[in-house]
Every structure is written in C-alpha cells, then in structure tokens.
C-alpha cells in the first residue's frame, strides 16, 4: 500500500470516529444523567432525607431507597455527599433555606406554599428533591429524568417497596429468596460470625424493621441500633450507611461471642447468650451465668438462665457475692431473645435454606 493510500485510510477512520463514536459517548453521558457542564463536580453536598419513620410508613423503605439513589447521583455527577436522616428535633427545610443543607428529600405535600427553595420533578410517587440553588435544578431534573426511566431504577425501587414483615409474608405462604433490601450485606457479615445469615437478618429486623433511619429514645441508630460511641469504637462514623452500620453491629456481636466461646456452648445457645449480651450488656449476662452456676443451674443453657432471672429481681440479690451489678429485671432481654427466634422462624419459612 502506498503512503498516499495509507493517509487516505487514516483520514477515513478518523471521520468514522467523529461521525459515530463521539455521539455514542455523548449519548452515554446523557444516559447516566451527567451534564457536559457539571455544576456538582468536585463539590461536597450536605443532604437531608426527611421522609418520616419508615418503620411505620406505608410506602416501603423510602429512606433507604433515597439514600441509595443519592449515592448513585453522587457517582454519576462526580461529587461527594454527606447524608443525614430525619430527626424530630431538626427542621430540615429551615436548614436548607439557611444554607446549612444543600438538598432535602421530602414528601411533596410538605413543601406546599414554601418560598425560597426550588423543587425538582418527582423522584417517585411521593418524594421530591428541594434545593436552594435553583440553577442546579436543571441538571438534577435531567439526571432524574434519565435515571427514573432506566431498568436499574425500576429494579432498585422494587427492592425497597413492599412489606418486609416476615410474619405477614409467612402467613400468606410467600416463598422467596429476598428477605430485605440488605440481604447481600447481611450475608457478607454473617459469615464473619459463623451464623446462618437469616439469623442475622432476624436481628436486624428486630432492631430496626430494616429501616436505616430508625433512632431509639436512647440515641441508638440505624439497622442494628448502634450507639454513636459504639460506632466510633469500631471505626464507624456514618451509622446511616447500611453497610457500615451492620459492620459495627457485627463487630460488637463478634466480640461478645468470642468472650463466650470458651464456655463449651453449642451454637444455638452461644447465639442466644451473645444476643442477650448485645441487648443487656455483657456484665449483666455474666452476673446471670455466675448466679445460675452458684445455684446449681446449667449456666450454658438460656432456658436455665431464664429460671433464675426472677430471683435476680429480689432485694436479696444484692447480698450475692457472684453478682456484681445488682438487681436485673430481665423482662426486656427475655422478650428480645424470644422475638428474634420468632423472626428467625418466620424468615426460614419464607426463605428456606438452599
């Protein structure tokens, strides 16, 4: 081939690339919702999710769904997020107007008559994104338009919508491989405990009903109801993050389980005692076991421990040398173990082992 023909071929290939490949790349950008002029690139956005309490809602796990959607937005638009969830003590819309938040996800009816903020198009049937900087709405709407028409959005939405109560599903005879939107995370961390992942799912359901924005009156947060100081002890700051929250909870369970592991318990009993310590604290459960042993009961059997707990409510327990922390009512802990075992039975019914 002559040099002249080689040059013609090179020009022809370049033309094809310009005509066909470049538009395809631009179309790929459009499909991800990213703009050619990205108003968010490199920014950190502080976002509030104010959708109420998922545990008692009728729209599924809205906060978890929008949390995942926000993280997808950040990935597509090359920005960083700090996400905070609903708190009864904070008015997120006032924080948005004051510039303390960059974006708030809330129900559309909460924004009727509100001035000073701009609204995106609906993300789903009931929620919208509110921002103070109205110039950013165009790019957000473009992204929302593309993502909500994608198959992955439909799949994501399906994972979070519906009733995740295992007892109601078991009553209906439902058989499924899906227990919650967080099954993959639960499976991953259950392996580090040596537990059936469905048992850990029962714990998560007991603690939060699979709602990431669950907060107790004592300040425990998220899927496994982790106290902030406990999270920090295990290197976790963002307790709203499903993966991090379960990671912290499982690290704590593993520490408790390791303390009990030398007792020679069989696995089911080991799990019950670990959960009892998770609920009441290891000191209380050590008192129960020491007192049971002193009274001639099997301190490796949770059923036997339940028999001596009523004695630990008496004034006389204060004189027992085997008991360090005084009286222990134990009602909550007994109910806690019973509930988790009931949840586990229901989860096994809807999701049989394979």
What are 85's strand-pairing partners? 49
End-to-end alpha carbon distance in the chain:
63
Residue-level length of the chain: 354
Helix ranges (H only) for the chain are 3-16, 22-32, 62-76, 92-97, 137-148, 151-160, 166-171, 183-193, 197-208, 228-233, 242-260, 267-280, 282-294, 302-308, 331-350
Sheet of 44-50: strands edge to edge? 80-85, 44-50, 103-107, 127-131, 118-119
Q: Which of 62, 136, 207, 269 is catalytic?
A: 207
| Helix, coil or strand: residue 226 | strand
Check: CB of residue 128 under 8 Å from CB of residue 105: yes
Cα 283 from Cα 304, distance rounded (Å):
18
What are 329's strand-pairing partners? none
171 an active-site residue? no
In 10 A of CB 63, how many CB atoms?
26
Q: What is the DSSP letter of 147?
A: H
Q: Please give the positions annotated as active site.
A: 207
């Amino acid at each position: 081939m002559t040099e002249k023909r080689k040059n013609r071929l090179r020009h022809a290939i370049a033309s094809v690339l310009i005509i066909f490949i470049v538009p395809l790349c631009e179309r790929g950008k459009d499909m991800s919702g990213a703009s050619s002029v990205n108003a968010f690139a490199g920014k950190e956005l502080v976002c509030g999710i104010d959708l109420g309490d998922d545990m008692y809602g009728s729209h599924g796990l809205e906060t978890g769904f929008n949390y995942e959607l926000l993280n997808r937005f950040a990935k597509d638009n090359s920005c960083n997020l700090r996400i905070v969830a609903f708190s009864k003590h904070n008015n997120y819309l006032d924080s948005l107007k004051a510039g303390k938040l960059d974006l708030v996800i809330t129900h559309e009816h909460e924004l009727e008559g509100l001035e000073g903020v701009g609204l995106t198009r609906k993300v789903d049937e009931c929620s919208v994104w509110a921002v103070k900087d109205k110039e950013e709405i165009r790019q957000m709407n473009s992204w929302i338009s593309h993502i909500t028409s994608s198959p992955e959005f439909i799949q994501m939405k399906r994972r979070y919508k519906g009733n995740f109560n295992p007892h109601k599903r078991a009553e209906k005879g439902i058989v499924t491989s899906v227990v919650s939107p967080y099954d993959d995370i639960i499976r991953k961390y259950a392996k580090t405990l040596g537990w059936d992942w469905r048992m850990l799912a029962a714990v998560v359901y007991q603690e939060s009903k699979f709602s990431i924005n669950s907060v107790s009156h004592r300040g425990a947060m998220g899927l496994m109801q982790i106290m902030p100081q406990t999270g920090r002890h295990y290197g976790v700051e963002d307790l709203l993050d499903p993966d991090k929250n379960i990671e912290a909870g499982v690290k704590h369970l593993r520490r408790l389980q390791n303390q009990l592991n030398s007792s020679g318990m069989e696995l089911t009993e080991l799990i019950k005692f670990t959960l009892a310590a998770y609920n009441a604290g290891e000191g209380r459960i050590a008192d129960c076991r020491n007192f049971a042993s002193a009274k001639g009961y099997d301190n490796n059997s949770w059923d036997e421990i339940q028999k001596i707990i009523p004695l630990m409510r008496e004034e006389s327990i204060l004189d027992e040398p085997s008991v360090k922390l005084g009286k222990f009512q134990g009602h909550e802990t007994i109910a806690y173990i019973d509930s988790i075992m009931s949840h586990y039975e229901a989860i096994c019914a809807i999701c049989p082992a394979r």
